[in-house]
Structure formats: structure tokens, C-alpha cells
Amino acid sequence: MTHAPAYLVLEDGTRYRGRAYGARGRALGEAVFATGMSGYQETLTDPSYAGQIVVQTAPHIGNTGMNDEDPESRRIWVDGYVVRDPSRIVSNHRAVRSLDDELEAQGIVGISGIDTRALTRRLRDAGVMRAGIFSGDDAALDPDTQLAEVRASAAMNGRSLSAEVSVDEAMVVPAVGESIGRLAVLDLGVKASTLRHLAERGFEVHVLPQSTTIDELRALDPVAVFYSNGPGDPAASDAHVSLLQDVLKDGTPFFGICFGNQLLGRALGFGTYKLPFGHRGINQPVLDKQTGRIEITAHNHGFAVDAPVEGVVDSPAGFGRVEVSHVGLNDQVVEGLRALDIPAFSVQYHPEAAAGPHDSTYLFDRFRAMVSDALLKEKGTDVPFDGSDSLPRATQNNQNEGTD
């Protein structure tokens, strides 16, 4: 059996020859590697991967096919896909089509049959970089032409992608059970599992376009605001930072994840920076400094907040005391922020655990508890905010017990 050739070209001139996989043509983006051994469908449909060519470090991909229950958004968002050994057959009772067919149907150009271990080592040593996949007619292009196309493509630094992944119009996900109020979710690339977890905590979830203004947000009169994950450089999201600063000045409770963590960091007055190769996968260890527990977590980020890991510091933007609440144990990167004088916190990873471990789903309970306490305080009940009441009572009483 013959296979059409394909080439992966990195901006430093490194070149890999493999086989065409998925759609034929040309894909340009930032080459990154994801370490998850499962959950490729959730990875592909995570909007945070927009603008990137994803390299799967697990060698065998596609054996469970694709189904209609697990997508995290309305489409595949990766700009290109790299695997070593795609499965020749699909073996899962929920599968309705193969991964190869889905990639082709959605126009995602991929490459298979290359040494993804060597490629990952290259990206770890040199850092993530722009890349291109060339197959079909584009595989016949002169190597210098292919390299020139890669080097002319957009870099991730300074790139804003929120408008590409956000909803165009507001949508509502009803609360499960009794509602505690409207939650404004700024969609910067939100995943379906996140919305489900929020609705299950009693929030009437209003998913808002990323262009929402402070007046539109206030008109909704939400009990809290949530910033989602998403792609791009947080330094290119000044409007979202300004909106969040207005939210914090209003005293509205806030929770952010991933991109939302970086934007909270900026709103509090800290900087952000690009990591050499980022954190992507479902096996990243993180320390929750508040409980002392180590969690295995799902990550997808290439930028991080530049804040002191130890101690309590004053917010440079004037929002009171702030501390780093979570730390990545592989490299001591800031993985969470907690404001001590206002009801706001965030984490850099994905507590919705799709696909991934469930160690961090307690954060949604922590958020609900913080909002509930704020509502009681608003009604005149004496519930002083000291930054610790965001830990739900059940968690306080069972910190040493396992999570579901």
C-alpha cells in the first residue's frame, strides 16, 4: 500500500518526511506538543489550540475513533495535526467515524509516520516555533519555498485570537436544579464541559461574546463573572483586561481558568510571558498551596503570569493583597492566583477535566461557595471575606479525602 508523502517543516529549517494524514494541502501554525495518552477528541476540539499545529507524544492515536458526545466545541480548532502511528481500524462502541475521516471532512491537514519523540525533543530543546505541514500538491514545493512560507506565517506573540473562537451571540445554559443566579461567562474559547460543570453548581450560565462591554455586562446583573480558557497572547487582550478591572472594582465575584488566569494576573497589575514550550496534556502535577494537596491536572497554555510564587504581595493595580495559590511542580510556574481582599481567584489549568483527571473539579465548588457567601453578605448576613471562605465547607472538612 502506497502513501502520499507529506513534510513537516520547522522555522529553524528542521524537516521531517512522513505520510499525508487527514486533509491534503498546507497548514501553518505554532508547533506544540501534547502529552496526553488519551482524549485526542477533546484536544482537537479545544478552542485554546487555535493557531497551533499539535504534536501528539503518544505514538498510537485514533483507535477509539470519533463520536458525537465528546467534542468540547462546535468544530476542530487545531491548525494542523501530527501523529506517529494512526490507528488502521476504529474499535469503540460509541465511534461513528474514524479520526482520519473527521480530519479530512473538516479540512485539517495532518502528517503521520514521523518520529514524534525526536520532534518533541527538538521542541523541548529549542522551544516551540512556527511550522508548516505540506501534503498533496504542496508537498512538491521546493524546500526553500516551504521554509519561506513557514517563516512568513504569524507568530503567537502579540496575536489575539479571541474573536475567532468566541460566540457571535449570547447563549444561555440553564441551571441544573435551583438557580443561585446568572453567571456571565466571557467566551474566550470556552469548552462545553466547563459550562456543564458551572450549570451543575446552580448557575444560570450566560455565555457572552468576547466583545461584551462593561455596560452590557452590568445590564445582565450577574451574581458572578467567569473568564474562560482560550488561545492567543494575553498581552494582546487589553480590552478584556480593562473589562475585568471594572468587574473587580464593582466587587463582583470572579473566577478565571487558563487564559482567564493570565487576564486576572494582568488586571491585578502583573505581567505575562511566553514559556519555552508550555504545558499541554492531562498529566501535569500542581500544588494547591491552600490545602497542601498535589493534583494531577489538564493543561493547555503557552503563556504564564509573572508574579512572586512565595508570600503575599500588594496588587500593583491597587486591588489589595494577592497570593499565588497554585504552583506547577515541574517548573515552579504560577498556576493560580487568589485575591485576599476581593472575591476573585483563578487557575492556569483546566478543572473541567475533559479529557483528564478529576482532581481539580472541587474548584467549581469553591467558586459556588465564594458566590454564595458574597450573596449572603449582600443581603446583610455577617460573612466577612478574608480570602478563605472560597473553600467550600465540605472541602474544609475533608481535605485529606480523595476527589471523584
DSSP codes of every residue in 167-223: -SS-EEEPPSSS--EEEEEE-SS--HHHHHHHHHTTEEEEEE-TT--HHHHHHH--S
Indicate the pLDDT class of residue 164, thresholds 50, 70 and 90.
very high
Number of C-beta neighbours around residue 215 at 10 A: 8
Number of C-beta neighbours around residue 181 at 10 A: 15
**H/E segment holding residue 121:** helix 116-126
- What does the pLDDT average to over 174-186? 97
- What does the pLDDT average to over 253-260? 98
Question: pLDDT digits over 1-29, tens only?
Answer: 458 999 999 999 999 999 999 999 999 99
Task: Quote the cell numbers at residue 194.
Answer: 466547563
Q: Is a pLDDT exceeding 80 seen at residue 399?
A: no
pTM: 0.91
DSSP 97-161: B-HHHHHHHTT-EEEESS-HHHHHHHHHHH--EEEEEEEGGGGGS-HHHHHHHHHHSPPSTT-B-
Task: Quote the cell numbers at residue 177.
Answer: 436544579
Question: pLDDT digits over 211-240, tens only?
Answer: 999 999 999 999 999 999 999 999 999 999
Supply the pLDDT for residue 357. 83
Q: Alpha-carbon distance 53 to 330, whole Å?
A: 24
- What mean pLDDT value characterizes the chain? 92
SS3 at position 286:
strand
Closest CA to 249 of 199, 320, 196: 320
Supply the pLDDT for residue 2. 54
DSSP 1: -
Integer-rounded Cα radius of gyration of the chain: 21
Closest CA to 125 of 241, 12, 40, 9: 12
Q: Is the CA virtual torsion 48, 53, 55, 60 positive or negative?
A: positive
Question: pLDDT digits over 67-91, tens only?
Answer: 999 889 999 999 999 999 999 999 9
CB 118 within 8 A of CB 37: no
Q: Is a pLDDT exceeding 50 seen at residue 280?
A: yes
Supply the pLDDT for residue 401. 35
Q: Alpha-carbon distance 293 to 402, whole Å?
A: 10
CB 110 within 8 A of CB 2: no
The single residue listed with the C-alpha cell 500593583 is 316
Supply the pLDDT for residue 353. 76
Residues 6+ apart with CB under 8 A from 140: none
Q: Alpha-carbon distance 398 to 138, whole Å?
A: 58
Supply the pLDDT for residue 403. 33
Supply the pLDDT for residue 381. 59
Task: Give the 3-state secondary structure percentages of the chain, helix then strand then coil, rounded to 5.
Answer: 25, 30, 40
Question: pLDDT digits over 323-369, tens only?
Answer: 999 999 999 999 999 999 999 999 999 998 777 788 999 999 999 99
DSSP 230: -
Catalytic residues: 258, 350, 352
Q: Alpha-carbon distance 100 to 61, whole Å?
A: 10
CB 208 within 8 A of CB 171: no
